[in-house]
Amino acid sequence: MPRNKYSPRRILPEHAVEQTAALPERTWNRTKLLQFLQKWIYCIIILLALSIRFWKIEYIPFANDADELAYIWAGQSLIEFGTPISWSSFQHTDTQWHWTEIPSDTVQDSKVPIAKFVRPWFDHSFILPLLMGGWSELLGYHFPSIPPALWYRLPFLLISGVNLLLIYQIARKVFGQWPAIFALSLVSFSPLFIFAGRMVVSENLMTTFILLSIYLFLTEQPLWSVLLATALGGIVKLPALCIAPVIGVSLFADKKYRQAVVYLLGVVALVVVTYGVYGASIDWPAFTAAMRDQSSRLLGWSNPAFIFSQPGFHTKASLDFSYYVVLFLGLGIFLVPSTKQVKILAGATLATWLTIWVTSAELDMLGWYKLPLFSLLAVNTASVFSLGKTPDDKQTLPLYPVLTTVTLLLFVTIVNNFGIIRFPEQPLPEAQLLRLVVAGILVLGLWLLNWKVPRKIVIAGCVTGLVVYALQAVYIANLYFAASCKDRTCPTPTVTLSQTVRTLLER
C-alpha cells in the first residue's frame, strides 16, 4: 500500500535503532583496520622475524664460532694496537705466527683457550673488524677476550632487519605490495635465514650494500649515493663489486654513457684507494702477500652444481625445504617480462651466482658465501606473480596456477621442516603417519590441478600456509639446539637471554 503524508510513521524498536546506528561505526573500524594492515603489515612481519632471530640468538650458530671470532679479535687489536691480529686459514711466513692464550668463560668448550694468531691479519678488510671490535670494546672486552655470543651478535640482528626491509622495498618497487609481502614472509620465517642472519660474517653486511645499491638505483636516487653504496660493499668484501657491472651496463643501455663511466671509475677508485691506504699504513708487503693468497684458491668447474647441492648457509647442511622454495621461485626472475627493473634483478642474480663460482673452492665452500645470492633470490620470489604478464602489466595467463603451486610448496615445506627437529629417541616419523600426510598433499594437489577452486579459497589456503610456516619457525628456533646437541657435546653458552632476563627481574 503506498504511503502518504497522513500514514503513521513506522517506529523501530529501541534495540534496532541502536544496531542500525552502530553499523557505520563497525564498518568504519573494519575499513580502518584493513587500511592499517595494508600499510604496516610489512613492519609487523619484520618485527616478528627479528623477535624469532633474537630468541636463543646465543645458541645457533654455535657460540664462539671461529669465523666470528676472527673479526672480533682483528677489530680489538686494530683499535688497541693499530694492527689487526687474528687467526688465519692461509699459509703465512713463520715470523707472522704466534700462539696466544684466550681467556673465555662465556662458553663451555675446551677447544677455545689457545689460538694461533697471525700479525698483521689481512684476510678481510677493516670494516667489519672495526664494527665488531668497537662493539666488544664498548662492552668492556679487550684483545684477545671473547664477549658472550648473546651480546656480540646484536649488531647483526639489526643488520638482518635492514636486509629484510630492503628485500621488501625492492620487491614492492618491482612487483607490487602483496607479492613483496609474500617474498618477505618466505625469507623472514625460513629457519636457515633465521640462523644465518645472526652470524657475524662479511657476507651479511655485504648483502646490505648490494641490496642498498639496487634499491637506490631503482628508485632513481642521486648517482653519488649508488656509487657510495657499491663502493662500501666492495670495501666490506671485494665480491660485492659484482653489482657494479650490472648497474654500469644498465646505464650504458640507457645511453647514459657519462654517468656509467663516472660510476664505474668512481667505485674502482674508492675501493683501490681505501685498500691501498689501509695496507700501506700497516704493512704493505704482508698486505700484498695476503691478497695473493686470497686470490689463489683452488676453484672448480663444477661449483655451480655444488652451490645448490648443500642446503644451508654454514658448514653443516640443514634440510630446510624453504631453501629450495626460494631457489625454485627466485629463478623465475628470468621468465617474467624484461622491464628495466627486472633486468637489474636478473643481472644481479646472475652476477652473484657466477662470483661465488670463481671465489670459492670446489667441494669446500663456506655456506655463508651464498647469502648475497639467496637474498636476491628471495627478492625474486615475488616475480612468480608476474608470470604471464606483459610489460604493460596486463595479465595474459591466469594467476590460478601460480597460487596453487605456491600453496602446495608451502605445505610441502611445513611437512618437510618438522624433520629439522630430530631428537635421538625419535629421529624419524612413523611410516604410516608420514604416508597419510603425503597422501593428503597429493589429494590436495590433484584437486587444485583438476578442479577450478575459487581464488579466495586458494588465497586463504596460501595465507594459512604462511601463518603455520611462521609458527613453525618459532618451534624450530626454540628446539634446534636441544635437538642437535642432546646426544653430543656442543659449545654451550654460559651467558643466555633467559638467564639475563631473570637476573634483571630479580634486581
Tell me, what DSSP letter sits at residue 381?
A: G
Task: Tell me if 287 sits within 8 A of 280, measured CB to CB.
Answer: yes
- Mutual angle of helices 154-175 and 202-218, in 10-degree steps: 30
Average pLDDT (344-350) is 97
**Domain ranges, ordered by start, for the chain:** 66-152, 398-507
Query: Predicted confidence band at 9 (pLDDT cuts at 50, 70, 90)?
Result: very low
Residue 189 corresponds to which cell in the numbers above?
620465517
What are the CA-CA distances from residue 459 to residues 46, 455, 473 (Å)?
21, 6, 21
Whole-angstrom Cα distance, residue 372 to residue 378?
10
| Banded pLDDT at 338 (limits 50, 70, 90) | confident
pLDDT cut 70: percent of the chain above it: 86
The model's confidence at residue 117, banded by pLDDT at 50, 70 and 90, is: confident
pTM score, two decimals?
0.90
Residue 140's nearest CA partner among 204, 76, 88 is 76
Q: d(Cα 205, Cα 200) in Å, to the nearest integer?
A: 9
**pLDDT above 70: residue 113:** no
Tell me which residue of 165, 188, 206 sits closest to 71, measured CA to CA: 206
pLDDT at 89 over 80: no
Mean pLDDT for the stretch of residues 423-436: 77
pLDDT tens by residue, 277-323:
999 999 999 898 888 877 777 777 778 888 888 787 876 778 899 99
* Out of 106-115, 118-127, 204-213, 302-311, least confident range: 106-115
Query: What is the C-alpha to C-alpha distance for residues 52 and 59, in angstroms, rounded to an integer?
Result: 13
pLDDT confidence band for 98 (50 / 70 / 90): low
More confident residue, 75 or 29: 75
In the structure, what pLDDT confidence band is assigned to residue 397 with cuts at 50, 70 and 90?
low
Residue 371 has pLDDT above 80, yes or no: yes
- DSSP result, 80-127: HHSS--B--SS---GGGEEEEE----SEE-TT-SEEEEESS--SS-SH
375, three cell numbers: 637474498
Distance, in Å, from the CA atom of 400 to the CA atom of 403, rounded to the nearest integer, reads 5
| Rounded mean pLDDT, 369-375 | 95
Mean pLDDT of the chain: 86
pLDDT band at 337 (very low <50, low <70, confident <90, very high): confident
Lowest mean pLDDT, pick from 188-197, 238-247, 382-391, 430-439: 382-391
- Whether residue 5 is predicted with pLDDT greater than 50 in this model: the reply is no
Average pLDDT over residues 340-364: 89
pLDDT at 423 over 80: no
pLDDT of residue 6: 44
